[in-house]
Amino acid sequence: MAVRWQAVDPNSVGGLITRPTSTLCMGNVSYDFSDETVVVTGGSSGIGRAVALRFGKAGAAVVNADVRKKPKDVGEETSTHEVIRERGGEATFVETDVSDASAIETAVDAAREFGGVNVMVNNAGWFTRRPMLDVDEETFNRIHGVNTNGVFFGCKSAAQDMIRRGTEGCIVNTASISSTHAQAEQIPYDSTKGAIKMVTRGAALELADHGIRVNAVAPGHIATEFGSGAEQKEESVAADELAKPIPLDRPGYPDDIAGAVLYLACDDADYVTGELLYVDGGWQTF
């Protein structure tokens, strides 16, 4: 999981809404994950796709574990694993409903084709917004099945495989600003992200003796097709319709999150575990 500094194009991830070139950045990082295998749940679209493509570009073999093969990103038709292959990398797709623990195990097992999982990215998620008094049991159970169960059993399956193989790997979960900040009409979603924070910290504590690091990224308002859609989210930020402003004055983009995930998975983060890394443009500082 090597990392090196060099000048690279920060907008080079294809098939996604990419962040504008920033005048705040003095340099960029290029990672080397050659000979490593990464499993990304929910890797067909949005944040998961950006993460999978970045790992593929960094030389990792990638297993995309998603319920659908085709991306939901506007204007994109080519599946994530096919893009990685077209660029000379190794990748495969495994149809995976993360609310089913056995399906996650199947995705982790598929990584054996490339030598076994080294990095597990539990990213798949579902979002709903509705008042608490309108939430029925089916909706509440569904969102926890995908978001909470998916992360917990993703951590468990990856850790079991790493321990059996004697591999010191790492796990990165997708949490949210909602892990620690309540937002209106989002109790079902917020409660799953709060749970992910504690799954991350508990797993980091229990797996430390095995040399397995567990961390989470906490995205803020990200312009993706997840939730209200990229165009709507960008317009919302521009119109200052959010409950409070974003200090960096723009929405986040999938590649912003991908960079944070690769950092948490690389050797430079070798002493980082149990961490919730906010990637939100400073939103939570208010």
Domain ranges of the chain: 29-285
- Residues with active-site annotation: 189
Alpha helices in the chain (DSSP H): 46-57, 80-86, 101-110, 137-143, 150-165, 187-207, 230-238, 254-265
Q: Which residues of the chain have pLDDT under 50?
A: 3-15, 227-241
Closest to 173 measured CA to CA, from 103, 124, 224, 123: 123
DSSP reduced 3-state for 13:
coil
Residue 16 confidence (pLDDT): 52
pTM score, whole prediction: 0.87
- Cα separation, 229 vs 73, whole angstroms: 9
Give pLDDT tens digits for 170-209.
999 999 999 999 988 999 999 999 999 999 999 999 999 9
CATH topology of domain 29-285: Rossmann fold (3.40.50)
